[in-house]
Structure 1
Amino acid sequence: MGSLIKAEFRKITSTRLWWALLIPTVALATLTALGWAAFTSDTFDALTGERAFLGLQVQMEQVSWSAIAVTRSINLTTIFPMIFGALAISAELNHRTITTSFLTGSSRGAVLSAKAIAYAVWGAVFGVAIVASSCLGAAISSDPRFMPEFGQLALIALAGIGATVLWTLLGLGVGALIGSSVGALVVLLVYALVVGPVGELILFAQTDGSHLPGLLPNGSASGFTGATAASALVSQVKSAVLNAGGSLPSIGSTRLDEIEEAIRWAAGTPGALSLGLSALVFAGWTLLFFGTGVLRNRNRDIT
């Protein structure tokens, strides 16, 4: 297995695909965070003088609103590691270069497992680059009062890296299942950029704000990071209420749920589940597509 993993790393580093995708990944993450951080800073700065948030006597600067910019940037930019994973097997199947690997490896399962390990590591590399670029972009254009604290950023970063690894493996699984680079890219991009986000918004509206969108691949992936940011921001709102002399029981659980849902809307994850559940659901989708792709290639004709 060790030699197969080394071979996969050699394949990746001997091509230009990894850095050809990493460059626009960093650029898009930085620019997206720049734009969203500037927007959130301007929006919530305009409300600071009113000393109120949803009638709760919460000062705007007491909440790290730029966390929304970081999560928005991460969720959008994961399309690049998804593409990277989608081309892992599909490109080799198209060019028949995977034939040698299947014939010389101990088994097809071992070859595909080695690919999964190698691309999981590279997914983490993309994740670190995405998180770092998103934080940098947010820090540049955000009002310093609205930047998350280190602990909050660390949680969002871990969630972002985890989501990026899973997107990479999900892309790998879809590419292995379809067996065509073009077909895999079309299916994944159309779903991730159009069908998923739009369909989940419609489903959320039609089901009166249920958590059904959070059970879908895109919704659970976005909820992975979005729920982390929403939870942190809601905790800050609660602390701000207490600091202002208010009490949480007087607000009511329904009101707090509405606040959290509003924050999730801002983070682009309406209907998302909690962090743990979102991670489990998205991991389940990843395992489903990757497992199906492995089974499809156990008997695929490679001649």
Structure 2
Amino acid sequence: MSLAAASRAEFTKTFSTAGWWILAIVLVVYVGSTAAGLGAALAYAVSSGDTAATGMQGIDASVVGGVTYSLSASIGYVFPLLIGTLMVTTEFRHKTLTPTFLATPRRGTVLWAKVIIGIVVGALFAVLSLIATVGPGAAFLAGFGIETGLGSSDTWAMFGRIGLALILWTIVGLGVGSLVRNQVAAIVIVLAFTQFIEPVARVAANFVDGLGGVTNYLPGAASDALVGFSIFSTVGGTGGAATPVEWWVGGLVLAGYAAVLLVLGQLFSWRRDVS
């Protein structure tokens, strides 16, 4: 089977199940409600002129739009990461990879097809995430008389980098799923690392000399650097102990994680029998 035919098959398998749209709905509700609440809080804090009293130190009118819109990636990245993981582990769990490998004996072709469809899914999630954050966020900013930044080319460039980040997170998820076959284990690893291990490490970087230079190369920090804004680094919550790397370095680091995980999955798991 050719790569084009394998990609069509992967497209059908992905979009004929409920997993993608359930995660998409949760993504929209989660980032949309967070952007609305944060946008209102930031706009009020800036318009009142007392960001310190509202716990928003480091926020001013020049960055409030970017911080709000970047929630698409800074908190929304876990959803494309999960869907990428599920695109692979669901097939291991339900043994649907068996007929797939029988139809396409070249397993590398199947993995590349998943990467292609993963890019499509990541782009879709990026669009939905941006609509969910920019819509309510910009509305609250405008309501408080704060510049939305939607007329700036820099803002639209950031939107493009957000899209790239979420696509890369989807491919990272594919790499995790191809390496860790057990669906429950893969999901636990993803959630434990993204919601506990890395955040704790980035908080610790505020207190341990030299650690910030290391945590800058963790996947979440690299993603924040790629986007250019993050609520965590802006308010000094996590990752504030060191100057972030350049956006293109962050992109290369995140792409590197995706490539390494895919290669490891191909070498140590993808070639094994499906049991």
Common topology (TM > 0.5) = yes
1:19-49 Cα offsets, whole Å, 9 max, x none, are: 1111111111111111111121122222289
Q: Which residue of 2 aligns with 1:146?
A: 147
2:32–2:136 contact (8 Å) kept in structure 1: yes
Distance 1:181 1:113, change over 3 A: same
Cα distance in 1 for residues equivalent to 2:194 and 2:118 = 20
Shift of residue 118 of structure 1?
0.7
Please give the per-residue CA displacement for 1:83-137, whole angstroms capped at 9, x wherever unaligned: 1011111111111110111121140001111011111111111011111211112
Q: How many correspondences in the alignment?
A: 260
Distance change in 2, residues 1:71/1:269 (3 Å): farther
- Match for residue 257 of structure 2 among 275, 280, 285: 285
CA RMSD of aligned residues (A): 2.3
Scaled by the length of structure 1, what TM-score is found?
A: 0.79
CA distance in 2 between partners of 1:5 and 1:114 (Å): 4
Q: CA deviation at 1:64?
A: 4.1
TM superposition shift of 1:277: 0.9
Post-superposition shift, 1:149?
A: 3.6
Match of 2:104 in 1: 105
Question: How far apart are the structure 2 equivalents of 1:32 and 1:186?
Answer: 24
Instruction: Report the Cα distance in structure 1 between the residues aligned to 2:206 and 2:246, rounded to whole angstroms.
Output: 16
Matched, 1:221 2:243: no
Alignment match, 1:301: 273
Shift of 1:212: 2.1
Distance in 2 of aligned mates of 1:129 and 1:14: 19
User: Distance in 1 between the 2:101 and 2:202 partners?
Assistant: 39
Larger radius of gyration: 1
SS across alignment from 2:85: helix
Long gaps (5+) in structure 2: 52-59
Equivalent residue number for residue 181 of structure 1: 183
CA distance in 2, matches of 1:130, 1:31: 11
Classify the secondary structure of the residue corresponding to 2:146.
helix
Contact persistence 1:83–1:168 (CA under 8 A):
yes
SS, match of residue 17 in structure 2: coil
Specify the SS of the correspondent of 1:20: helix
Structure 1's 298 and 229: CA in aligned 2 closer, same or farther, altered over 3 A? Answer: closer
Q: Distance in 2 between matches of 1:207 and 1:74?
A: 28
**What is aligned with 2:56?**
none
Mean alpha-carbon deviation: is it higher for 100-109 or for 70-79? Answer: 70-79
Q: Name the structure 2 match of 1:7.
A: 9
Aligned counterparts of 2:270 and 2:185: Cα–Cα separation in 1: 20
Task: Please tell me the residue identity of whatever aligns with 2:107.
Answer: R
Shift of the 182–263 alpha-carbon distance from structure 1 to 2, 3 Å rule, reads: closer
1:1-303 alignment runs, 5 A limit: 1-47=3-49, 61=61, 63-142=62-141, 143-150=144-151, 151-207=153-209, 210-225=212-227, 228-229=228-229, 264-265=234-235, 269-270=239-240, 271=242, 272-303=244-275
What is the CA distance between 1:206 and its match in structure 2? 0.5
State the percentage of identical aligned residues. Answer: 25
Q: Which structure has more helix as a fraction of its residues? A: 1
Aligned to 1:245: none
- Cα 1:212–1:30 shift into 2, 3 Å: same
Q: 1:266–1:71: structure 2 CA closer, same or farther, 3 Å change rule?
A: farther
Which residue identity lines up with residue 39 of structure 2 in the other structure? A
Contact 2:202 2:239 in 1 (8 A): no
Shift of 1:73: 4.1
The one-letter code sitting in structure 1 at the alignment partner of 2:119 is: A
Aligned in 2, Cα 1:109/1:28: closer, same or farther, shift over 3 Å? Answer: same
Distance change (3 Å), C-alpha of 1:73 and 1:267 = farther
Distance 1:64 1:109, change over 3 A: same
In structure 1, give the amino acid aligned to 2:247.
Answer: L
- After superposition, the Cα gap between the structure-2 partners of 1:223 and 1:127, relative to the gap in structure 1 and judged at 3 Å, is same
Paired amino acid for 1:200: R
Give the secondary-structure state (helix, strand or coil) at the position aligned to 1:66.
helix
Amino acid at match of 1:6: R
**Structure 2 Cα separation of the partners of residues 82 and 229 of structure 1:** 19
Between stretches 113-122 and 65-74, larger displacement belongs to 65-74
8 Å contact kept, 2:179–2:270: no
Tell me by how many angstroms 1:263 deviates. 6.5
